[in-house]
Amino acid sequence: MSGEIVHVLGAAGFAGAQLAALVDGHPHFALGTVTARSDAGLRLVDIYPEYRVTATMTELDVAAIAPGDFAAVCYPHAEASELVATLVDRGVRVVDVSADHRLHSAALYPEVYGFTHPREDLLAEAVYGLPELHREAIRGARLVANPGCFPTAALLALAPVRDHVIHVVVDAKSGVSGAGRRPTASVHFSSVTESVTPYKVLTHRHAPEIAQEFGQEVLFTPHLVPADRGLLASCYGRFVGDTPHPDDLLEAYRRFYAPHPFVEVVDAPPGMHAVQHNNFAQVFVTTEPRRGLFVGFGVIDNLVKGAAGQALQNLNLMAGRPETEGLG
Amino acid sequence: MSGEIVHVLGAAGFAGAQLAALVDGHPHFALGTVTARSDAGLRLVDIYPEYRVTATMTELDVAAIAPGDFAAVCYPHAEASELVATLVDRGVRVVDVSADHRLHSAALYPEVYGFTHPREDLLAEAVYGLPELHREAIRGARLVANPGCFPTAALLALAPVRDHVIHVVVDAKSGVSGAGRRPTASVHFSSVTESVTPYKVLTHRHAPEIAQEFGQEVLFTPHLVPADRGLLASCYGRFVGDTPHPDDLLEAYRRFYAPHPFVEVVDAPPGMHAVQHNNFAQVFVTTEPRRGLFVGFGVIDNLVKGAAGQALQNLNLMAGRPETEGLG
Amino acid sequence: MSGEIVHVLGAAGFAGAQLAALVDGHPHFALGTVTARSDAGLRLVDIYPEYRVTATMTELDVAAIAPGDFAAVCYPHAEASELVATLVDRGVRVVDVSADHRLHSAALYPEVYGFTHPREDLLAEAVYGLPELHREAIRGARLVANPGCFPTAALLALAPVRDHVIHVVVDAKSGVSGAGRRPTASVHFSSVTESVTPYKVLTHRHAPEIAQEFGQEVLFTPHLVPADRGLLASCYGRFVGDTPHPDDLLEAYRRFYAPHPFVEVVDAPPGMHAVQHNNFAQVFVTTEPRRGLFVGFGVIDNLVKGAAGQALQNLNLMAGRPETEGLG
Amino acid sequence: MSGEIVHVLGAAGFAGAQLAALVDGHPHFALGTVTARSDAGLRLVDIYPEYRVTATMTELDVAAIAPGDFAAVCYPHAEASELVATLVDRGVRVVDVSADHRLHSAALYPEVYGFTHPREDLLAEAVYGLPELHREAIRGARLVANPGCFPTAALLALAPVRDHVIHVVVDAKSGVSGAGRRPTASVHFSSVTESVTPYKVLTHRHAPEIAQEFGQEVLFTPHLVPADRGLLASCYGRFVGDTPHPDDLLEAYRRFYAPHPFVEVVDAPPGMHAVQHNNFAQVFVTTEPRRGLFVGFGVIDNLVKGAAGQALQNLNLMAGRPETEGLG
């Protein structure tokens, strides 16, 4: 018997489609409505044959989403906040996969995202959905703000040294699926292949999100790399007190992440292959005591642990299901 | 001192830009106007930094193209024929890089290209610009129809066995630049990477062009491969008479192409690397006498020997310059 | 409770490791010994972190493999036949993932594989393990010869037109994992990226295997493409009698494959993404009645449906388990 | 008429072969002996068809290298120093493309490169061959130490802010050709595609070289990316005094590099395409005055400006030729 219904709103994009596929294969949840705008009327399988999800996308009908149901809102930023408010007010439990509830401070929205947030109360209430930092709050939440892909990888690499490391630089490398499904010049195969390109230098919207959760500003620079899925955050910093021996830091990370089923602390700098198409993150850290240096790496699949998989992990927690259900 | 002026009309696309770069670096020709529609006002270097061509693209002004000048028309098919006619009538010598003068039979245009050709006389007059087959005619031509990328590779692999081989299958693999600069779902990096996809099966417009020059219909199937540049035509057929020994066929190909500076008959099946960013084609052929089988491979850079380089090769011939000038 | 034990012999290679991972995740089978030569002593996860299989590879000890157990032999060709004989004689039920029992005719082994086969009786007994052709024989078999990757894709595209189509050309495109784990010049990233290369033209060992099962010789040419996993067989031929309408042929294929859970007959030429990391094959066919042409495409993951997944499919059948168990 | 002879010793590797090709196409220099060890007897074109260099590689014969000739030594580190000494003592003018004369301090060699340097005098005499920093010294040098690929890109991005920026982090992304021609597990296509992997974290040998020329230690981390050629160094730091406005810093870089024909200061973060297969470097820099941050990017082709092209640039300077001759 299936249990709670999960609606995926905005299912035609990369993250939404991945989430619909995960929900469709979940042993407990039932896939509710899957919505799209220009693709309404198509089946998910028509666009994403790899997922084999035959549900037909429809236009949004809020009335079809019952109080007590779950909804994941996979809209572009600035377009999700009103729908999220409507749903939460209606008694639907929501994971907002967009960026519209990630920052607690309403004052940041005009500058960072270009709109005035309509519901300061929901910004204050929304739980930042990184289970490795906020699991208990997620369990009871009405509204979870699913983290951005870059913050997920960076924060997992950095969280255990919060308050110990300063002058943090995050140099991130993202696969092209992170740029979304819309074809543009910058995702044309001929632009991407055989190159690496930095973008949104000093201006990327994920920087304030990292700062909020890490407790200090970092120097964040994303790069586009010739891969479909995968996101590596290479993190550098300087210890403020004593610098631990590399082995001791690695051991401290192992202890920190021991209760967290999706974070693997590994023995060597990770590539992307071991995390693609699954919800794992891999983390490796080391130090150079002579110079007081910290180096850490976090790698995820940007569409899974960086988006849809983490959304399902949050839904599992909100619904009281095992955290890993449907994700292994 | 520079010599003749070459105008590149439609320089914002992949082939046009490559041609403008080749003309710009040519020791004899001078680059005339470079035109574009939506990109008029931009410099070529703004879109194609790799070519370092600083000329500014303008809207087309036929008056700026003097009789006696050369013009290469790099327009989409069905959009070139009228301009080409205007230019030829004006006394401009033209290489039409579009498909609008490749087929001698006007009757084919409605079916193959979806328009009625306005100038049957120019179709009859236009020389098919594969120098390895029509060099002498190209020299004196007013109008050269630059071959398609697939026909170039296939015909170079097949021409020496014309009239000896039947039941020909051409299975071609093209880099993504062959699909042009416009971003679409099918050239999104995430669509292309880690895949090979057949397309336009039994319906591709280059099939009649191959048939015209090879003298018989072939079964032609293009595939999109995860590469930027490069086009491999794998050709299969059956000998109608005696099947030559592989060494003898290879030797016959060497003799056939000895006068042709851009075709290299090689000793093993070629990959794409040796022809990328240059105007060479590499050809390898073999046979299986027991079963009467022919196997041949032709590989080119689709934007150079398959488009812009071949156009310059034709311009060299038309202008009485050394065939390889500016192409080595 | 786990059921039968499956030993994976030769688990350090790409196919063996993939199979060990599939068996490890199977709800019924238990993973027995996993063996390796130079990598004995390492855990599978040390080489293949993406599979998360912690079993340690050991040197082969036949005594550890009990009669009634299952064994998959993932050895290089010419190195498997003796072990397979030993195991079968011992009462172990074997899937030979190597090529050593695929050809029924012992006379072919010296020419095709360079060795004299030691056990003509087992060649005669071995069932060719393409379940879509030989499911019932597989169920009762003591020894199943797991098909090659190219024959799997080609035969699935061709089987329904056996006896109706002649002059068959198979132009196949394989990802690099098909070449195996050993680093060589031809699998160096710098050799492979941005290229497609034909290889073993007219001499590839999978040609006789296709001929045996298709009932006629074909012209088979493999190409290496810049992808890790995925194998596309583009197949061309001529109908001997009437040529069916494309829709009718597609419908005939749908009926042919209706009882086969892993073959999807699709509406358009397939790329590789929908079959990567799973055991599905996708097949598309069409015709050109005017010229009597057949065109068919079969695409698989060379390591799954083309090797390890198909081996598990065979093991499921041999053990009386549901055919799809552990494969979805 | 050709002028000075340039011998390329160790021509079978990626850098040596690229250099032999550049010398072979140089309008003034003549290609002398090209040497190899296991590949002696082969022609360069047999291994590198893309260069079309027909010279046959021979075993080293020092007697064939006359005083007054030029030699480029493209050996692995620790294997070049003795040959270089022999050649310099013989009156040959040498560019050492290996790492054996890059560090001025002999004391560093045992720790960094694992051998005791035999000729401290030559370490002291060797000029570090980054023309943008040491052009005049290169002109008169008997021995030029050609820089490493990572230091070239990083130093070009950083040199103008030397003494103004501290706490420098260099996160570098290199194409696979930087790892050399030898096939290993880490350059197998299946390892590299669809991934980015950090390596030699805190231990890479290019770090002391950057420190020597930049005047302070940096935190340097290389990453392997799925590209053949291309190297991007992303550099981060903090200004010690006032932080310039981004426009002013960019303008200062333009002035700094105005006399240098191969460095292009560009208006936006560069990708790799514009520098592949040529000797250009592209540099972009910006700042965030509020936080005192410096961000700079340098991108090159690791085999050209990062190795063989820079070697030819140095040879041009040593021979009194135009700096760009044979490089455009």
| pLDDT, tens only, A178-214 | 999 999 999 999 999 999 999 999 999 999 999 999 9
Is this complex scored with an ipTM above 0.95?
yes
CB contact under 8 A, B187 and A185: no
Up-side HSE of residue C315: CA atoms within 13 Å toward CB? 35
CB contact under 8 A, D219 and A236: yes
Task: Return the closest-CA partner of residue D148 out of D283, D303, D325.
Answer: D303
Query: Three-state SS for C111?
Result: helix
**Cα-based distances in Å from C52 to A328, C228, C253, C304, D4:** 11, 19, 38, 17, 59
Tell me the pLDDT of chain C averaged across its residues.
Answer: 97
- DSSP annotation of B124 reads H
d(CA C75, CA C53): 20
In tens, the pLDDT along C21-42 reads 999 999 999 999 999 999 999 9
Task: Return the closest-CA partner of residue C305 out of C260, C252, C251, C267.
Answer: C260
**What's the whole-number mean pLDDT along residues B25-36?**
98
**What's the whole-number mean pLDDT along residues A56-70?**
98
- DSSP annotation of A209 reads H
**What's the whole-number mean pLDDT along residues B32-61?**
98
Mutation target vs C (from A14, A18, A47, A50; most C CBs, 10 A cutoff): A50
In tens, the pLDDT along D217-249 reads 999 999 999 999 999 999 999 999 999 999 999
Q: Indicate the residue of C52, C266, C274 with minimum beta-carbon distance to A50.
A: C274
Residue C185, burial from CB neighbour count under 10 angstroms (0-12, 13-18, 19+)? exposed
Q: Indicate the residue of D14, D185, D226 with minimum beta-carbon distance to C183.
A: D185
Q: Provide φ and ψ at C72, rounded to 5°.
A: -110, 125
Q: Check if the beta carbon of residue D32 is closer than 8 Å to that of residue D57.
A: no
Chain C: closest CA distance from residue D187 (Å): 6
Express as a percent the part of chain D with pLDDT over 70. Answer: 99
CB contact under 8 A, D187 and C189: yes
Q: Match 């002059």 to its residue by tokens.
A: C167
d(CA C62, CA B320): 77
Predicted local distance difference test score (pLDDT) of residue C328: 82
Residues 6+ apart with CB under 8 A from B281: B152, B153, B156, B262, B263, B264, B275, B298, B299, B300, B305
Predicted local distance difference test score (pLDDT) of residue A244: 98
Q: Check if the beta carbon of residue A74 is closer than 8 Å to that of residue A14.
A: no
Q: Match 């590994």 to its residue by tokens.
A: A266
Measured N-to-C along each axis, helices D131-139 and D309-318 cross at an angle, to the nearest 10 degrees, of 40
Q: Provide φ and ψ at D171, rounded to 5°.
A: -110, 110
Predicted local distance difference test score (pLDDT) of residue B258: 98
d(CA A236, CA D236): 10
Q: Check if the beta carbon of residue B158 is closer than 8 Å to that of residue B182.
A: no
The helix or strand, by DSSP H or E, that contains position D206, with its residue range, turns out to be helix D206-214
pTM: 0.98
Predicted local distance difference test score (pLDDT) of residue A2: 64
CATH second-level architecture of D5-147+306-318? 3-Layer(aba) Sandwich (3.40)
**List of E strands, A159-292:** 165-174, 197-198, 219-224, 231-239, 263-265, 281-288
d(CA A253, CA A242): 17
Residues 6+ apart with CB under 8 A from D199: A269, D186, D222, D223, D224
CB contact under 8 A, C183 and D188: yes
Q: Which residue of A has its CA nearest to B228?
A: A190
Task: Return the closest-CA partner of residue D94 out of D114, D112, D113, D119.
Answer: D119
- DSSP annotation of B4 reads S
Task: Return the closest-CA partner of residue D188 out of C197, B227, C46, C180.
Answer: C180
Which residues of chain D have a CB within 8 Å of the CB of C14?
A: 190
pLDDT band at A328; cut points 50, 70, 90: confident
CB contact under 8 A, C173 and B270: no
Q: Check if the beta carbon of residue A192 is closer than 8 Å to that of residue D227.
A: no
Which residues of chain B have a CB within 8 Å of the CB of D266?
A: 49
**What's the whole-number mean pLDDT along residues D118-127?**
97
Q: Is the pLDDT of residue D1 over 80?
A: no
Q: Which of C19, C149, C168, C231 is catalytic?
A: C149
CB contact under 8 A, A271 and D175: no
> Cα angle vertex B285, ends B280, B286, to 5°?
165
Q: Is the pLDDT of residue C1 over 60?
A: no
Task: Please give the biggest Cα pair distance in chain B.
Answer: 63
* Chain C touching partners, 3 or more CB pairs below 8 A: A, B, D
Chain B: closest CA distance from residue C166 (Å): 11
Question: What DSSP string describes C184-201?
Answer: -GGGBHHHHTT--EE-ST
Express as a percent the part of chain C with pLDDT over 70. Answer: 99
Up-side HSE of residue A246: CA atoms within 13 Å toward CB? 16
Q: Is the pLDDT of residue C2 over 70?
A: no
Question: What b-and-e string marks burial along A204-213, b requiring 16 or more CB atoms within 10 Å of the CB?
Answer: bbbbbbbbbb
Predicted local distance difference test score (pLDDT) of residue D328: 82
Predicted local distance difference test score (pLDDT) of residue A269: 98
In tens, the pLDDT along A117-161 reads 999 999 999 999 999 999 999 999 999 999 999 999 999 999 999
d(CA B38, CA C245): 44
Residues of chain D with CATH 3.30.360.10: 150-302
Which residues of chain D have a CB within 8 Å of the CB of A234?
A: 171, 198, 221, 223
d(CA D177, CA D200): 17
Predicted local distance difference test score (pLDDT) of residue B328: 82
Tell me the pLDDT of chain A averaged across its residues.
Answer: 97
d(CA D213, CA B127): 60
Which residues of chain C have a CB within 8 Å of the CB of B225?
A: 173, 196, 225-226
**What's the whole-number mean pLDDT along residues B118-125?**
97
Residues 6+ apart with CB under 8 A from C121: none
**Cα-based distances in Å from C61 to C34, C87, C118, C285:** 10, 11, 21, 47
* Chain A touching partners, 3 or more CB pairs below 8 A: B, C, D
**What's the whole-number mean pLDDT along residues D35-58?**
98
Residues of chain C with CATH 3.40.50.720: 5-147+306-318
In tens, the pLDDT along A230-259 reads 999 999 999 999 999 999 999 999 999 999
In tens, the pLDDT along C194-249 reads 999 999 999 999 999 999 999 999 999 999 999 999 999 999 999 999 999 999 99
Query: Three-state SS for B240?
Result: coil
d(CA D73, CA D101): 11
Q: Which residue blocks in A201-263 are alpha helix, DSSP H?
A: 206-214, 246-257
**Cα-based distances in Å from A195 to A178, B166, C285, D174, D225:** 16, 43, 37, 10, 9
Q: Is the pLDDT of residue B298 over 90?
A: yes
For the CA atoms of D272, D274, D276, D278, the dihedral, rounded to the nearest 10 degrees, stands at -140
Which residues of chain B have a CB within 8 Å of the CB of A181?
A: 185, 188, 190
Q: Match 């417009």 to its residue by tokens.
A: B205
The CATH code of the domain at C150-302 is 3.30.360.10
Q: Check if the beta carbon of residue D163 is closer than 8 Å to that of residue D227.
A: no
Superfamily of domain B5-146+306-318: NAD(P)-binding Rossmann-like Domain (3.40.50.720)
